[in-house]
Amino acid sequence: MDEASVYERLREHIVSGVYRAGERLPELALCDEFHVSRTPVREALRRLESEGLVEGGRRGVTVSALSVSALGHAYTVRAALETLTAELAAEQQAAGRLAPAALADLQATAERLEKVTAVGDLERAADLNRQFHRGVAELARNPIAVEMLERLWNQITVSTRESLVPAERPDVVAAEHHQLLRAIALGDRFRAGRIAGDHARATARTLGAAIREEVAGDPTSSL
């Protein structure tokens, strides 16, 4: 297995929660797990550190966790980028460049997300939610924006996995997803951007409240 493959596997394990925030990643253990020498492991860890997914310290390399303050900053940037990509997606639609199947696929993802949320499968709901928003971003056809969002989503996912809580108003969240898709389908740039930005900011407020409760020691805040 080469360095690129080790990097991909490590990143996948971190983002999917196999390795949790704060967990140590000893080099030798990783070498044994992936059946490689130290060099590809070290190079992979360097790349992951540059992406903010791991950090070095006295205890060695650990999976990074953003502070509440840093998460706030991350969501501010995420809201701005998702506003932009939603606007660009609507522009693409207005110009006749989006295939109907692309919007239909996102509609199906939104409906699956509603069903999974209703039964309380928080991990699956988080994955489908990210899939939905990544799909919207990809409609913008701006690879730089998508790459920046991927990095942010990775950091946010790793740092918030232990603080997943059921959506306070799942019907409102679902409605916002459908409203966003409708705005894009209509080619309404302004409305699509506003819905996407407001939606990300509302998510940040809900998440911030949950994390603050968890930090304060509320045993019911982390599910």
Q: How many CA atoms lie within 13 A of 210 on its CB side?
A: 21
Q: How far apart are CA 155 and CA 175, in angstroms?
A: 26
Mean pLDDT of 161-187: 86
Q: Cβ distance 61 to 17 under 8 Å?
A: no
Contacts of 29 by beta carbon, 8 Å cutoff, 6+ apart:
none
Phi and psi at 59, nearest 5°, equal -85, 5
Instruction: Kindly list the structural domains of the chain, giving each domain's residue range(s) and its CATH number in brackets, ordered by start.
Output: 3-63 (1.10.10.10), 68-215 (1.20.120.530)
Is-contact 132 138, C-beta < 8 A?
no
- Residue 167 reports pLDDT greater than 80: no
**Both tokens assigned to 102:** 């692309």
Q: What is the pLDDT of residues 62-90, one digit of tens each?
A: 999 898 889 999 999 999 999 999 999 99
Q: Is the pLDDT reported for residue 220 higher than 90? A: no
**What is the amino acid identity at position 78?**
R
